[in-house]
A and B are shown apart, each in its own frame.
Chain A
Amino acid sequence: MFQGFEWGKALSTTLIITLLGMAWVLLQALILRLLRGRLQPSTHQMVRKGLGYTGFVVLALVVLDTLGVNLSAALGAAGIVGIAVGFAAQTSISNIISGFFLLSEKTFSPGDVINTGEASGVVISIDLLSIKIRTFDNTYVRIPNETIIKSKLVNVTRFPIRRLDLRLTVAYEEDLDHVFEVLRQIIRDNRFALANPEPFLQIDQWGIWGVELVVGVWFEKTDLLALRNSLMSEFHRGFRQQGIRIPFPPSSFPGGPQ
C-alpha cells in the first residue's frame, strides 16, 4: 500500500507546511495588529480575508513544489485557465475592484443608514463582492459592489444632525405672521427639535387650495421618527386650537346632500 512512498519527503513537506503556516499566521497577526485602529473595521476585515487567501495560495504552491510537481507547467496551464476564468469572472472581479473603491472612498461604514436605488436600510457589512443591508422592515438585502459604485447612494446618517422639511398648506384667509408665530412656538416647545441651527419657515408657493409653506426643523439623526410624529400631531393640534384652517379639496357625492 505504501510502496514508493517516500517517508523523508512526506516528513519534510509536513514540516514545511507547519513552519510556513505558523510563520504566515504570525505575520498575518502582526500586520493586522499594526493596521488596527488605522483602518475602518470593514477595511480591516477585508485585508484579513485577503491575507488569508494569499497565505493559502502561497502555501499550496510551496507544498506542490516540495512534492515535486512541475510548477512552471502548472502555472502555464493556470495562465490559460486564468484567462478563461477571467472572462467568466468579469462580474466578480468588477465587484472586488468596486469594493476597494467603496472602502477607499469611505462613503459609508457598517451601522450607517443608506438609501440606494435598490433598497434602504442599515449597512451590516461591506464585503469583497457585495454589501449587506438590513431594511427597516427587517429583510436582508445583498447589493453587488458594482451596483453601488454605478448608482446614486444617499448616506442618511453621515452627519450627526439632519433637517426635516415638512410641507403645510393653510387657507388664503389666514394671517401668515400669526401662522408663523404658532409654528415657531410649537417647534420651540418640541423636545426633539434643535434650537440651533434655527428652524426656517418659508412660503413655498401660492397653491391651488391655499398658501403652501415649508418648515425645516433640525434634529439629532436618531430622532427622525419621534420628531416627525410629534411635530405633525402638534401642528395639527396647534392649528385647531388657534382656528387656523388647513384647506382640502372640496368633494361632492352623487345623491348626497346639496
Chain B
Amino acid sequence: MIKSTPPLGPWDWVVPEEGEWVSWNLDGAEVAIQAEGNRWHWWSKSRKPHEVRRDFGGPRRGSVSPCGRMHTTIARREPVALRPMIMARPFVVRVTEPVPIHRGEEVRFPVDLPVSYHWVNQDGETLAHPQTIELPRTWFGDPSSGMGCFLWEVDLEDPAQGPFGSLVRCEVVLRNLSKAALVLQHFAIHTERLGLWLRDGLLVTDIVVVEGLADGALRMTTVNNPESRAGQNLEEAPKGPTEWMVQRGVSFLKTIAGIT
C-alpha cells in the first residue's frame, strides 16, 4: 500500500495546468503526463540496463517533445504523483567480476535494483504504469519447472558506484556456511518479501541475507533494515515468514552460486 504523505521531492503531488506537460527524468528514462479535461495523456521513454546514467529529477513543468507512443487514460482532474514499486519478478543478479568467498566468510555489498513506476491519485488508484526499463529475462530452474526472473548485472568492484535516484538500494549479505569455497557469480533476490522505503531522498529495501548451507542448499532471509525503517514507508512487505528455503530450482541456484 502506497502512503500518500508527506510529499517529497520527485514524489511530490502535482496538478498539471490544462494542456501542460509535467515530466520526470529517471536516470536515462523519461516519463511525462499531461491533463486535458478528464483525459490524461502520457508517454514514457524506457532505457536498457546499460543505458542507466545519473540523471534524476522532476517533476518539471513545461513543454516536452513527446517521444514514443502516446497513451491516454480517463480520470478525474486531481493531483497525481509518481510512485516507485518493487518489481514483482525475482532478480537473478549476475556479478561481472566473480568474487571468491571462503568457507565461513561473509560478504556484504549493495545492489541497486530497478523499480517500476506508476502515477497514482490521492485515493491510491493507479492512473498509468509507464515502462521505464527493458530488462532481459532469465529462467530460475530447469526447463520443466521454475519461474521467470529478470537478469541484472552488477559490478561489485566499480569504485564509482553510488546510489541512483531511480533505482532502489538493496543491501545483500552473503554468508558461506558450506564446507567449500564458493565463487559468487550469480545470486537470486526474491522481491516478494521486500519492503520499500524512502530515506534521505533515496529508495532502499530491507536487507537480503543469502546463506550457502553445509548441505549445499541456499537459504534466503529478509531482515529489517533499521536505517531504512527510519525513513518513509512506500511499500509494505507482505506479512508472513521472512525466511524460506528455496525449494524450486535449488540445483540451478547451486550451479549459479558456484556451490559444488
Contact = CB atoms under 8 A, between A and B. Distances in A.
A159 B143 contact: yes
Given A160-B146, A196-B92, A191 B139 contact: no
Q: Tell me the dominant secondary structure on chain A's binding face.
A: loop
A220 B146 CA distance: 11
Given A160-B146, A195-B151, A218 B139 contact: yes
A161 B249 CA distance: 14
Q: Which of B48, B136, B151 has the largest number of chain A CB atoms within 10 A?
A: B136
B137 A195 contact: yes
Contact of A188 (B135, B136, B139, B143): B136
A160 B145 contact: yes
Interface residues of A, number: 14
Interface in B50-88: none
Interface string B134-175: 111111000111111001000000000000000000000000
B145 A191 contact: no
B139 A194 contact: yes
Contacts of B134: 191
Given A160-B148, A196-B151, 17 more contacts: A159-B143, A159-B144, A160-B146, A161-B146, A188-B136, A191-B136, A191-B137, A192-B137, A193-B136, A194-B137, A194-B148, A195-B136, A195-B137, A195-B151, A218-B139, A220-B139, A220-B148
15 contacts: A160-B145, A161-B143, A189-B48, A189-B136, A192-B137, A194-B137, A194-B138, A194-B139, A194-B148, A195-B138, A196-B92, A196-B151, A218-B139, A218-B143, A220-B139
Q: What 8 pairs across the A-B complex have the smallest Cβ distances?
A: A195-B138, A196-B138, A195-B151, A159-B144, A194-B139, A196-B139, A191-B134, A220-B148
